[in-house]
Structure 1
Amino acid sequence: MLAGRHHNGADPFLFELKSKASKAKARLDAVSNNDLPARVEAAKDLFAEGSGPSIVLSPFTIQYGRHVKLGKWSFVNYGATFLDSNIITLGDFVAVGPNVQFITDTHPVRPEDRFQPPKEGDPLPFRVVNYALPITVENHAWIGAGAIIMPGVTIGEGAVVAAGSIVTKDVPSRMIVAGNPARELRSVDD
């Protein structure tokens, strides 16, 4: 999965990891968004080892948690989605607006390659073929509300992603991008 190769998205081992993440997320969700020190502490059980301290407000959606690395004092607003079948790295002092989606998962383009017959022990009556690519958001970047960050993208240091943008390719440092797909508008220094 982390190697970016095809894998069975319905693998029983992955279901168990998702279950553990769901329990850790429930403990974090039980802490008030207004009790920031307690949220920072509770987040240690969900996110990758060595993360933070950072603030992620509930509600949010996450698959595994263990693949999300948070830098120091990043802030993730309400409604974030972390589909973390591969590593999602947020650097230090990253600002994430409401309802931003980080999508590492994707599927083969050919329809006949997306599903396979089940193997014994599979929890579903079919196998889902996924692959995932990492996402990196470097220090001091700002991602506006409702943006979607697609698999394999790196957002450079100090870059700005405008609200509602769909980012399908790398964003240079200190660049403002906007649109669907996101296009370079200008430097933050202009």
Structure 2
Amino acid sequence: MTRSDKERMLAGEPTLSGDPELLEIAARACFAFNQAHPDDETRMDHLRPIFGEMGENVWIEAPLYVDFGELTKIGDKVFINTNCTILDGGGVTIGDQVLIAPNVQIMAAGHPIKASDRMVYPFENEPERMNFVNLAGPIKIGNGCWIGAGAIILPNVTIGDRAVIGAGAVVTKDVPADSLAVGNPARVVRQI
């Protein structure tokens, strides 16, 4: 039996960007939430069907950009500030009591480093559009973490419980629990 691009994506294997199932999921992800009026007391209700799991007492500020949504799990008492981008192709897990500052990018998706591995292909029926190879890897953010403004978290990263990621940090490898990581690439500067 042939596996779908979604199944291959979840396994961390290469997929093509033009897969119709994946494009359909991405197209519907956050439109209703981002279009809701700020005074609309029901705007958070738009997110429950988007995410794979969403805990209690979650608050997210618009705009929010999510690739698929169903591959993201959010715990209880989470606050995500404005302009967060979640590319969740590899799966994203956000623990309980997590604070995510403005302009954070959680990137559980990317492309192969070697040019020949990410070759661009024209779509069969639309030669003016281009297709490319995607890769994905999971991101896990532990309980009680604080992700500073403008931080970027890359695929295949686990951030341990209660860790703090400094503003503007680019997280390329695991960060242990109870530690402060800053810089590009992020490195642990002390235990907290």
State the secondary structure of the residue aligned to 2:10: coil
**Who is 2:5 aligned against?**
none
Aligned residues: 183
2:35 to 4, 25, 30: 30
**Who is 1:177 aligned against?**
181
Give the superposition deviation at 1:45.
Answer: 1.8
Q: Which amino acid aligns with 2:170?
A: I
1:140 to 126, 140, 144: 144
Q: What TM-score, normalized by structure 2, do the two folds share?
A: 0.88
Counterpart CA distance in 1 for 2:79 and 2:117 is 38
Q: Which amino acid aligns with 1:6?
A: P
Report if aligned partners of 2:121, 2:132 keep a CA contact under 8 Å in 1: no
1:111 aligns with 2:154: no
**Who is 2:71 aligned against?**
67
Gaps of 5+ in 2: 1-8
Counterpart CA distance in 2 for 1:122 and 1:85 is 24
Counterpart CA distance in 1 for 2:162 and 2:39 is 27
Counterpart CA distance in 1 for 2:185 and 2:152 is 10
Report if aligned partners of 1:12, 1:122 keep a CA contact under 8 Å in 2: no
Gaps of 5+ in 1: none
Give the superposition deviation at 1:118.
Answer: 4.2
1:15 aligns with 2:23: yes
Counterpart CA distance in 2 for 1:29 and 1:159 is 29
Q: What TM-score, normalized by structure 1, do the two folds share?
A: 0.89
Q: Which amino acid aligns with 2:54?
A: S
**Who is 2:3 aligned against?**
none
* Structure-2 change in CA distance of 1:125 and 1:32 (3 Å): closer
State the secondary structure of the residue aligned to 1:44: coil
Write the mapping of 1:80-91 to structure 2, written as runs, cut at 5 A: 80-91=84-95
Larger mean Cα displacement after TM superposition, 85-94 or 125-134: 125-134
State the secondary structure of the residue aligned to 1:16: helix
Give the superposition deviation at 1:166.
Answer: 0.4
Give the superposition deviation at 1:117.
Answer: 3.4
1:51 aligns with 2:54: yes
Give % identity. 39
Counterpart CA distance in 2 for 1:167 and 1:148 is 6
Counterpart CA distance in 1 for 2:144 and 2:39 is 23
